[in-house]
Amino acid sequence: MEEKSKPKRLALVASKGTLDWAYPPFILASTAAAMGWEVAVFFTFYGLTLLKKELTATISPASNPAMPMKLPFGPEALQNFNIPLPNMLMANLPGFESVATALMKQSFKNKGVATIEQLREMCLEAGVTLISCQMTQEVFGFKDEDFIDGIDHGGAATFLDFASESDVSLFI
């Protein structure tokens, strides 16, 4: 009989806090956990905001020149219409960020994509270790009570200790 092997390990750094960049770490972490892997995600810099009780992640077309700006409702022809204006230009319109965020959330919902809150909850349920970067917490003045329950706190050494024994390690 083959010896039961140690579970595989995934180590992630989540460094970005916008809505679009919030997805990759939570999707990979929850899926790896569903495959029986051990998973730890280290939330640092703007990524740390993804552990806040109140999620406020938004998306801005300003830093995403290739982001398709599409309507999530209306006739199909209209939905497939790409507004022929550079994102950099549109992003400068007042209130555009909240419009873009609302449109993207609606598109995700229409297409059957989970919300960040859902994925985060599934990560916790599956035993994924979510680590808050203590240094970032101090720098931005976040309090422990700003964050969801069930997370760990640590620094670079904490992450590297876990990552040193991991099979997959990604910086997001």
Partner 1 sequence: MTEVAFDQELDCQGMLCPLPILKTKKVIDTMQVGQVLKMLSTDAGSVNDMIAWTRQTGHELVYSERNDTLYTYYVRKT
83 interacts with partner 1 by CB under 8 A: no
Which of 55, 90, 99, 114 is the binder for partner 1 (CB under 8 A)? 114
How many chain residues touch partner 1 (CB under 8 A)?
A: 14
Which residue's CB is nearer to partner 1, number 36 or number 74?
A: 36
Instruction: Please enumerate in sequence order all residues whose Cβ is within 8 A of that of 153, keeping only pairs 6 or more positions apart, or say none.
Output: 131, 132, 134, 137, 144
Which of 76, 111, 138, 141 is the binder for partner 1 (CB under 8 A)? 111
Interface pattern 33-72 for partner 1 (x via CB under 8 A): -xxxx-----------------------------------
Read off the tokens for 96: 């555009």
Query: By CB under 8 A, which span of 31-39, 64-72, 132-140, 145-153 interacts with partner 1?
Result: 31-39
Q: Are 39 and 57 in contact (CB under 8 A)?
A: no
The CA distance from 12 to 96, in Å, is 31
Q: Are 19 and 116 in contact (CB under 8 A)?
A: yes
Q: Which residues bind partner 1 (CB under 8 A)?
A: 8, 27, 30-31, 34-37, 111-114, 119, 122
